Structure 1
Amino acid sequence: MRALRILLIFVVIFGGLFVAADRAAVYFAESEVADRVRSSAGLTSQPDVSIKGFPFLTQVLGTSLDEVEIGLDGVNATADGHDVRVTEVKAQLKDVKIDSSFSSAVAGQANGSARISYADLAKSAPKGATVGYAGAERAAKGQVKVSGPLTDVLEGAGVEIPDTVKALLGGRTVTAYSTVTLEGGDTVRLKAATLPELPVPGMDEQVRDVVDYDLKIDGLPSTIKLDKVTAAEDGLHFSGAGTNVSLTG
C-alpha cells in the first residue's frame, strides 16, 4: 500500500511537470508564430496567437498542430486619404504543418473574418455624406445606405453648383442604396444600385460619380483570406476560406 502511494505521488509530480513543460512550450511557440506573422505581414502590432489542443509537445513531435487561432486588434483601410479601422480580424487555422523551428507553417484549412462598423465606414464616405444600415431587405442584397444634403455632397467632391441650381434643389437630401462587393480580397467597392430622380438633367451621373468609391484594406496577413462581404446591423462583415495557407508569408 505504501509503495502504491509513493508511485501515485511520483505520477502526480511528473504529470504536473509535464503539463508545466507543455504549457511553457505552447507559450514559446505562440510567441514565435506571432513574431513571424508580424514580420512577414509588416504589421505594426503583435497579433494574438492561440495554439489549441493538448498535449502540445506530442503535436510538435508529429509536426502537425490541430488548430491555431490568430487575432488582430485591427488593421487600416484607406479611401481618398481617409483612414478606416477594420476590427475583429481573425483567422482560424486547422491541420497546420510545421517544422521544428516554426520557420515554416502551412495550414491545410483556413477561415478568416473581419468587420467594419458603420461609424468607421462613414469616415470613408464622400464629404458631406454618411453611410449606414439600409434595413433588412436591402441588407440581404448586400446594400448599404449612403445619404447626405445634395449640395454638400457635390460641393464636397469639388462640383460647382450655381446659385440658381441651389435654389431649385431647395436643401434636398440625396439617398443612394449602394451594393457592396469585395474585389481581390482587399478592396471594398461601393456602387449605387439606385438613385433618386433629381430635378436637374445630368446631375444623377454627377452624384453617382461621387457616391461610387473603393475602400482599400491594408495590412492583412496572408493568413486572413477574405472573399465574401455581408451587410448587417452593426456594419460590414467579411469572411473567407482557403487551403494550404502559409502562416509566415
Structure 2
Amino acid sequence: MTEQLGLPKEILACLFDLDGVITKTAVVHAAAWQQTFDEFLHRRDGEGFRPFTDADYNDHVDGRPRADGVRAFLASRGIELPEGSPDDPPDSPTVQGLGNRKNNLLLEMIRSGGVEAYDGTLRYVEAVRASGLRTAVVSSSTNCRDILRAVGAESLFEVRIDGVVAAERRLPGKPKPDTFLAAARDLGADASQAAVFEDALAGMDAGRSGHFGYVVGVDRVGQGAALRAHGADIVVRDLAELGESA
C-alpha cells in the first residue's frame, strides 16, 4: 500500500510538519517575523537599517523554535541581546521579548485573516490513514493544536509533538531530529520506518541527521534545490503529487 502513496514499502509512520505542509501559515509566520525584526532593527539602526529578508527567514528562522530563530537571526547580524524570561512583554529588547512580539503579531494575523489548510495534504493524510500507516504532526509552534482545530484536522493525527510538548519533554527543536524521533517512538516506529514531510531547511536537516527512512521536501517557495541539498529524498510542490506519481 505504501507504494500507492509514493513511499518505500518499509514505511510504517508518517511525520508531518504543520506550517507550510499542512496549513498555509508559513507565509503568515514570515510576515510576522519580518515586522518584528524590521521594527527592532529600525529602532536600533535608524533609517539605514538592513531589512529582514526572505533569505533570512529560510536560513535562520523557518522551522526552528521561536527563541532559537531569534538567536540565529540576531547572530547572523552580529547582534547579542539578553535572554530575558518567557513572560517578557513584547516590547522588551530581549530574545524572549522579540519572540513574544512575533507571536502576538502572528495570532493577530491569524485572527484577522483566518487559517487555511492545503487540500492536497489533507487528502494525502486521509489516504495514509486508510492505508493503515500511523500519523503524527511535528511542529515547533506552540499554537499547533489551535491551528489544527481551526482547520478541522486535529483528528487526523494520532500524535502531536509541538512547541508545548517539546518544552515539557525538554526536546531540542529542529534542526535537531529529537522532536521527529519522539513522534516516531510514540507511534511505535523506528526512524528507519518513518517518513518526514517538511518544507523548511531546518526540517530537512532534522530528517537527514535522524536517519529517517524517507524525507519528503515540500517546495512552496521555489527552493527545491536547497531542500535536496539539505537532505530531501524527493521534492514535490504538493503532497497530492506523491499519490499521482506512484
TM-score range, shorter chain: under 0.3
Tell which structure's C-alpha radius of gyration is larger. 1
Higher RCO (CA-CA < 8 Å; seq separation 6+): 2
**TM-score normalised according to structure 1 size:** 0.25
TM-score under structure 2 length normalisation: 0.25
**Structure with greater helix percent:** 2
Q: Which has the higher strand share?
A: 1
